[in-house]
Chain A
Amino acid sequence: MKTITAPYKIKGGVHPAYRKELAREQAIRTMPVPSLLRVSMAQHLGAPAKPLVKKGDTVLRGQRIGEPAGFISASVHASVSGTVKAVGPAPTASGAMAMAVDIEPDGNDTWLEQLTPQPNWSALDAKTLTGIVAEAGVAGMGGAGFPTNVKLSPPPDKPIDTLIVNGAECEPYLTADERLMRERPEQVWTGIAILRHILGAKIVRVAIEDNKPDAIRAMKKAMADAEGDVALVVLPASYPQGAEKQQIYGITGRETPSGGLPMDVGCLVENVGTCLAVQDAVVNGRPLTERVTTVTGDPVAEPGNVLNRIGTPYADLIAFCGGLRGSVAKVISGGPMMGFAQGSLDGATAKTTSGLLALAPGQAPVYESLACISCGRCVQACPMGLLPCELSQALEAEDYDLADAFHVMDCIECGCCAYVCPARRPLVQHMRTGKARIALKRREAMQKK
């Protein structure tokens, strides 16, 4: 085990106010089970799961209530034992509609002992372990929610030699990953070791930003006896150090090709929360039914890091943290740079809910479509080497072919461009619209063929 600094410098990026002090020193608190849980079938990237229960069914904690509906999809489990009150469409954090299962807890919180705990996991082969991860419904908990078992099954021509564990947590305000690394470093490390074993990866890199010295210390201790090419990589604190492609480059110097995946450069990136979920699934036989969410922002009375059941309504989560004070302009699922603004507190947590952030009116910027003044700051800030100014003008003119030629599909929506724009143009909104329109066009073209 060694400690290194990131050998390669990523392009662009910004330095937003981190505001992590609001929740950083708050130890993880376990929240009591609320009176109703709403478990969405679309908590992961890819096809939403298919509900396996109907109204009136009784379920146990850890029971599978949604099955994968495609190759890129994930199982969903009941996060409490109780009665299904309803099955129907509900909005996800991004505002899209997806089926959700409402569960009224029975107060017993009985587990369905479905998975066998495997404390001697190192004796098992990769296929068996990947199967356990799939059955436990583990999906990337950093925010994107890519089904973990899919990532762990690369095609034979794409061998993975490097496992990168993302503990950067570069989103301002969020501290959930930092708390996990500080409070449960051994379990996180066990999860990493399981992933390493599954992949047969020679190189393991645990990446943490240099503004989290306590997390670095804790992880160093947990990893001290690790054998082989294992290193803790200290990243410079800047945004977006935690973006997958940027992180791979910063650590290995490898550039994930345009339109490609990390496995194209022999890498796999997992968030620390995901590593913990893998550990819980394999060692304890527990499917993913809970996660740590940072509830923060100046209007929150008692900001903190809350271990909550997946499907916990935002309103209950906020109430557990003392409620909201003063006027609130925005409530965001996730962090301020990439999170989703919520119209109300009606939503519920998912596997990807890393944070719930409330912003006071003065803190939520208003973006207007003033004319671009060609200052070039977005070009400097873009970590992907795009010209956001030019792209947004093409998209405002609804010239999707031009935007496609200018590589809008490579945009990672990190928000650096809009963050620095002096004309306050809603650049990310333009990119998102353009990407959706181009994806639609491509699908239509495929169907015609």
Chain B
Amino acid sequence: MTTSDDKTTLYTVSSSPHAHSGASAACLMFDVIVALMPALLAAVYFFGFDAIRLVAVCVASCVGAEALCRKAMGRPVKTALVDLSAVVTGLLLAFNLPPSLPSWMAVLGSVFAIGIAKQAFGGLGYNPFNPALAGRAFLLISFTGRMTAWHAARLPERWSFGGLTADALTGATPLGMVKEAVRAGDPLPVAMDGATTVRFLLGDMGGCIGEVSALALIVGGLYLLYRRCITWHVPVCYLGTAAVFSAIHWMVDPAAAMPPHFHLLTGGLMLGAWFMATDMVTTPVTTRGLIVFGIGCGVLTMTIRIVAGGIYPEGVSFAILLMNAITPLINRATRPRLFGQRRKA
């Protein structure tokens, strides 16, 4: 009984809803890139050409690896590149590298991050681990010496091409110096007076290129919050737990412990809490899950930094990677209460 009329116009038929908020993965990734710009500027300011070199190498090799992997797997290349996730991975990996790292190692780390940690699992959305952190962990295990060779962030040398002198390479990160002193039973080498706190807040210390400036990272993180790319749960729970953990340690053992603001401002904590532990793909989807994830990251980070007796002074990367591993379990355990399912009396 349907009328057959040659002039009948046909319209698109699809399931509801017929409206969309306009959000897209590319928009989200673009916002993350924008949010990383203050930290990138700080990196260039403190580490000069090395920062530019590492960022350029990592972004280029991540995008290149992404394209090659998609091509090799016979999957659409363009859709994978336009979501900008490879650019974000490249930026974050570069931010997690020491300034003196040779470029070929950065290329290797990028290829591992994209090829093994991301595309081997099926690409964006399927990777269980944060690709940038997996890349960093791979480099750290493979080239421990070069990955922990620091030079203090001092401006004049950085702005002279190839100006790395042997002296400059001896600088260590504040976390490394403290750990070393505690192991040796020496007095604590860093005093967190006002001037030092401001210096650390701005980023004037040894470390990976993108992690040193807490201020720039906080500005970027607030931008992500403002754009609703992330929620407050992970950064607040992560930083809060780390602060509480270190405060207790500091009160119990003031001779061998650093105050909470030392821990918050040094190492990769700010970078991790705002940009790595908030990676959507590898973190829980439930609100309670995000809280658990943040607290877990905080506990693990401080455990590695303080409790574990090993020589490794920093715990952010491995803490987040470990929490990535149990994200599916966290999701399972923190499901929201179904509407209409009776609350337990």
Binding between chains A and B: yes
List residues of chain A with CB under 8 Å of any chain B CB.
11, 14, 16-17, 86, 88-91, 95, 100, 102, 172, 245, 249, 255-260, 328-332, 336-346, 357, 359, 364-365, 367, 370-377, 379-380, 383-387, 389-390, 407, 410, 413, 415, 418-424, 426, 428-429, 432
Query: Could you tell me the distance between the alpha carbons of A357 and B340 in the complex, rounded to whole angstroms?
Result: 33
Asked if A423 contacts B125 (CB within 8 A), the reply is: yes
**Contact A338 B285, beta carbon cutoff 8 Å:** no
CB pair A373–B125 under 8 Å, yes or no, is yes
Chain B residues positioned under 8 Å from A260 (CB to CB): 340
Determine if A376 and B340 form an interchain contact, defined as CB atoms under 8 angstroms apart: no
Supply 14 A–B pairs (Cβ within 8 Å), ascending by A. A90-B1, A100-B1, A255-B339, A337-B16, A339-B16, A341-B18, A342-B13, A344-B10, A345-B8, A371-B123, A374-B283, A379-B286, A410-B339, A415-B17
Which of A336, A376, A410 contacts B18, CB < 8 Å?
Answer: A336
Known A86-B1, A376-B280, A387-B331; contact A365-B15, beta-carbon cutoff 8 A = no
Contact B13 A343 (CB under 8 A): yes
Measured between beta carbons, the chain A residues less than 8 angstroms from B17 are 336-338, 415, 418-419, 428
* Given A384-B338, A422-B24: A16 and B1 interface contact (C-beta under 8 Å): no
Contacts of B331 in A (CB 8 A): 387, 390
CB A393 to nearest CB in B, in angstroms, measures 10
Could you mark each residue 11-39 of chain B with 1 if its beta carbon is under 8 Å from any beta carbon of chain A, else 0?
A: 11111111111011101100000000000
Cβ–Cβ contact B1 & A336, under 8 A: no
Pick from A172, A344, A390: contact of B285, CB under 8 Å: A390
The contact of B339 among A346, A383, A419, A429, by CB within 8 Å, is A383
Residues of B within 8 A of A413 (CB): 16
Residues A379 and B285 in contact, CB atoms below 8 Å apart: yes
Tally B residues with Cβ within 8 Å of A: 46
Check A339/B18 contact, CB under 8 A, given A330-B12, A372-B125. Answer: yes
Contact B10 A419 (CB under 8 A): no
How near does chain B come to A423, taking the closest CB pair, in angstroms? 6
Q: A341-B16, A371-B124 are in contact. Are A331 and B11 (CB under 8 A)?
A: yes
In whole Å, how far is A268's beta carbon from the nearest beta carbon of chain B? 17
Instruction: Quote the shortest CB–CB distance from A25 to chain B (angstroms).
Output: 22
Tell me, rounded to whole Å, the shortest Cβ–Cβ distance linking A274 to chain B. Answer: 22
* Contact bitstring B285-329, A, C-beta under 8 A = 1, else 0: 111001000000000000000000000000000000000000000
How far, in Å, is B202 (CB) from chain A's closest CB? 32
Taken together as a complex, chains A and B put the C-alpha atoms of A345 and B7 apart, in Å, by: 11
Residue of A nearest to B341 (CB): A258
CA distance A429 to B17 in the complex (A): 9
Complex-state Cα separation, A337 to B21, whole angstroms? 11
From A100, A257, A422, contact of B28 by CB (8 A): A422
Take A341-B11, A344-B8 as given contacts and tell me if A420 and B21 are in contact as well, using a CB distance cutoff of 8 Å. yes
B344 lies within 8 A of chain A by Cβ: no
Q: Which A residues touch B25, using CB under 8 A?
A: 370, 373, 422-423
Contacts of B335 in A (CB 8 A): 387
- The answer to whether B11 touches A329 (Cβ under 8 A) is yes
Please classify the interface of chain A as helix (H, G, I), strand (E, B), loop, or mixed, using the class held by over half of its residues.
loop
A91 and B2 contact, CB distance less than 8 A = yes
Instruction: Report how far A378 CA is from B265 CA in the complex, Å.
Output: 34
Contact of A371 with B280 at beta-carbon distance under 8 Å, contacts A258-B338, A364-B12, A364-B18 already known: no
Q: How far is A341 from B290 in the complex, measured between Cα atoms in Å?
A: 37
A418 to chain B: closest residue by CB: B17
Question: By the criterion CB–CB under 8 Å, are B338 and A385 in contact?
Answer: yes
The distance from the CB of B32 to the nearest CB of chain A, in whole angstroms, is 12
Does B165 lie at the interface of the complex (its beta carbon under 8 Å from any beta carbon of A)?
no
Query: Is B78 interfacial (CB-CB < 8 Å)?
Result: no
Indicate if the CB atoms of A387 and B285 lie closer than 8 Å. Answer: yes
A256 & B340 in contact (Cβ 8 Å cutoff):
yes
Q: How far is the CB of A436 from chain B (nearest CB, A)?
A: 12
Kindly list chain A residues whose C-beta atoms are within 8 Å of the C-beta of B282.
Answer: 374
Minimum C-beta distance from B125 to chain A (A): 3
Q: Are B285 and A257 in contact (CB under 8 A)?
A: no
Tell me if B283 and A16 are in contact (CB < 8 A).
Answer: no
A86 to B2, CA, bound (A): 11
A379 partner residues in chain B, CB cutoff 8 A: 285-287, 336
Is there contact, CB below 8 Å, between B122 and A371? yes
A344 touches B9 (CB 8 A): yes
Given A91-B2, A390-B331, A422-B24, also A428-B16 (CB < 8 A): yes
Interchain CA distance A252-B196 in the complex, whole Å? 57
Q: Give Cα distance in the complex from A359 to B18, angstroms.
A: 9
- Confirm or deny: B203 has a beta carbon within 8 angstroms of a beta carbon on chain A: no
B 87-130 binary contact with A (CB < 8 Å = 1; else 0): 00000000000000000000000000000000000111110000
In the complex the two chains form, is A385's CB within 8 Å of B336's CB? yes
A373 pairs with B1, CB closer than 8 A = no
**Beta-carbon contact of B2 and A90 below 8 Å:** yes
- Contact of A365 with B8 in the complex, beta carbons under 8 Å: no
B281 interface residue per 8 A CB criterion:
yes
CB distance from A267 to the nearest CB of B (A): 13
A-B complex: 7 closest residue pairs judged by Cβ atoms? A371-B125, A415-B17, A365-B20, A376-B285, A429-B15, A258-B340, A422-B23
Determine if A375 and B28 form an interchain contact, defined as CB atoms under 8 angstroms apart.
yes
Q: Is A410 a contact of B340 with CB atoms below 8 Å? A: yes
Bound-complex Cα distance A390 to B1 (A): 42
Which B residues from 142 to 196 make CB contacts under 8 A with A? none
Inside 8 A of B21's CB, which chain A residues have their CB?
Answer: 14, 16, 419-420
Residue of B with least CB distance to A343: B13
When the two chains form their complex, are residues B11 and A342 in contact, meaning their CB atoms are under 8 A apart? yes
User: With A372-B125, A374-B125 as given contacts, are A330 and B18 in contact (CB-CB < 8 Å)?
Assistant: yes
Among A330, A377, A422, A426, the most chain B Cβ lie within 10 Å of the Cβ of A422
B residues 195-215 with Cβ under 8 Å of A? none
Separation of A40 and B298 alpha carbons in the complex (Å): 62
- Tell me the minimal C-beta distance from A358 to chain B in angstroms: 9
The answer for the CA separation of A365 and B12 in the assembled complex, in Å, is 11
* Complexed CA–CA distance, A415 and B19 (Å): 9
Closest residue of chain B to A359 (Cβ to Cβ) is B18
B28–A365 contact, CB under 8 A?
no
Chain A neighbourhood of B123, CB < 8 A? 371
Q: With A and B bound together, what is the CA distance between A298 and B9 in angstroms?
A: 18
**Distance in Å: Cβ of A394 to nearest Cβ of chain B:** 13
Name the residue among B3, B27, B122, B126 with the largest chain A CB count within 10 angstroms.
Answer: B3
Query: In the complex, what residues of A have CB within 8 A of residue B122's CB?
Result: 371
Contacts A384-B339, A390-B285, A423-B25: A337 and B1 contacting too (C-beta < 8 A)? Answer: no
B272 sits at the interface (CB 8 A) = no
